[in-house]
């Protein structure tokens, strides 16, 4: 068991407090309970390669930056606590099956019961560059790593998802959700800076923070969770 896996195991006892706010549904079409910012630094133009419906498997989204200068900064979509980090891989593995991929990822738990996932990020950008570790609290918009194409990825992007995880063992060692047949634990992300809130394939949006009142409420809920 790695240090990161041990830290994740220690934190699992806290997930019962989180998941009480949402219940997994039978279909993968339910909108998220929370409203999230696009997971890129403010002002970044973000294009949707695949949305919640077109992604295969359905229930996830692929987002990539299209302006500015690389590396593009990935940020937390809402305030929360880091539950899992893997950023030791450095190889792009396009074309392999998911079971054979070595993806880098960050999972963040939020006080509304949902978790967000940020995959394919650059090697060492979470632990070394952002200096984050499992158990750290992050604010909405806080830098958590750099966009990349690590693991099973055709291009540099952020594989983003919102989900209500299983209590006892939320993710497997590869960073994939457990007990998620048919994407039943996935939620369609509601983005505060996207017209109509739901991102659409092929569309371009500008990353920006949510209303200050939303951020303050999220921080307050997170503080209560820690108490």
End-to-end, the C-alpha distance of the chain in Å comes to 29
The two tokens of residue 213 are 């009142």
- Lowest mean pLDDT segment, chosen from 149-158, 166-175, 206-215: 206-215
Could you tell me which residue, 12 or 34, shows the higher pLDDT?
34
Indicate the helix (H) or strand (E) that contains 222: helix 212-226
Could you tell me which residue, 18 or 132, shows the higher pLDDT?
132
At 98, give phi and psi (nearest 5°).
-55, -35
Residue 67: pLDDT band with limits 50, 70, 90 = confident
- The verdict on pTM exceeding 0.75 is yes
Q: What percent of the chain has pLDDT over 90?
A: 74
Residue range 3-12: average pLDDT? 44
Q: The tokens 């309970």 sit on which residue? A: 33
H, E, C per residue of 50-113: ECCCCCCCCCCEEEEECCCCCCCEEECCCCEEEEEEECCCCCECCCCCHHHCCCCEEEEECCCC
The two tokens of residue 96 are 């392999």
Return the pLDDT at 3.
41
Please say if the pLDDT value at position 224 is more than 50. Answer: yes
Return the pLDDT at 31.
97
Side-chain-side CA neighbours of 77 within 13 Å: the count stands at 29
The burial class, CB within 10 Å (0-12 / 13-18 / 19+), for 37 is buried
Residues written for the chain: 227
Query: For residue range 107-156, what is the model confidence (pLDDT) as tens digits?
Result: 999 999 999 999 999 999 999 999 999 999 999 999 999 999 999 999 99
Return the pLDDT at 219.
54
Return the pLDDT at 22.
45
Return the pLDDT at 7.
47
Return the pLDDT at 158.
98
Could you tell me which residue, 99 or 193, shows the higher pLDDT?
193
Residue 212: pLDDT band with limits 50, 70, 90 = confident
Task: Output the CA–CA distances (angstroms, integers) from residue 171 to 142, 166, 179, 185, in the order listed.
Answer: 23, 8, 9, 12
Cα–Cα dist 39/94, whole Å? 23
Query: For residue range 20-62, what is the model confidence (pLDDT) as tens digits?
Result: 444 443 335 899 999 999 999 999 999 999 999 999 999 999 9
Longest dimension (CA), the chain: 45
* CA 102 from centroid of its chain's CA atoms: 17
Cα R_g (the chain), whole angstroms: 16
Domain 3-226 has CATH 2.70.70.10: yes
- Lowest mean pLDDT segment, chosen from 9-23, 80-94, 146-160: 9-23
* Other beta carbons less than 10 A from residue 26's beta carbon: 8
Return the pLDDT at 5.
45
């Amino acid at each position: 068991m790695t240090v990161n896996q041990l830290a994740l195991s220690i934190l699992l006892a806290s997930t019962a407090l989180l998941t009480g706010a949402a219940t997994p549904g039978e279909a993968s079409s339910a909108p998220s309970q929370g409203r999230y910012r696009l997971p890129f630094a403010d002002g970044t133009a973000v294009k949707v390669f695949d949305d919640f419906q077109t992604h295969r498997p359905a229930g996830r989204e692929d987002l990539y930056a299209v302006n500015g200068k690389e590396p593009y900064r990935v940020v937390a979509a809402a305030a929360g606590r880091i539950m899992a980090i893997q950023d030791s891989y450095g190889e792009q593995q396009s074309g392999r099956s998911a079971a054979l991929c070595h993806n880098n990822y960050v999972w963040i738990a939020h006080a509304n019961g949902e978790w967000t996932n940020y995959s394919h990020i650059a090697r060492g950008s979470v632990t070394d560059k952002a200096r984050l570790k499992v158990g750290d609290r992050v604010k909405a918009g806080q830098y958590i790593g750099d966009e990349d194409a690590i693991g099973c990825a055709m291009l540099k992007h952020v594989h983003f998802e919102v989900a209500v995880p299983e209590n006892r063992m939320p993710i497997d060692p590869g960073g994939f959700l457990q007990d998620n047949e048919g994407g039943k634990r996935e939620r369609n992300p509601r983005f505060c800076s996207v017209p109509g809130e739901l991102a659409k394939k092929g569309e371009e949006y500008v990353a920006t923070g949510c209303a200050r009142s939303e951020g303050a409420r999220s921080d307050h809920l997170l503080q209560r969770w820690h108490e």
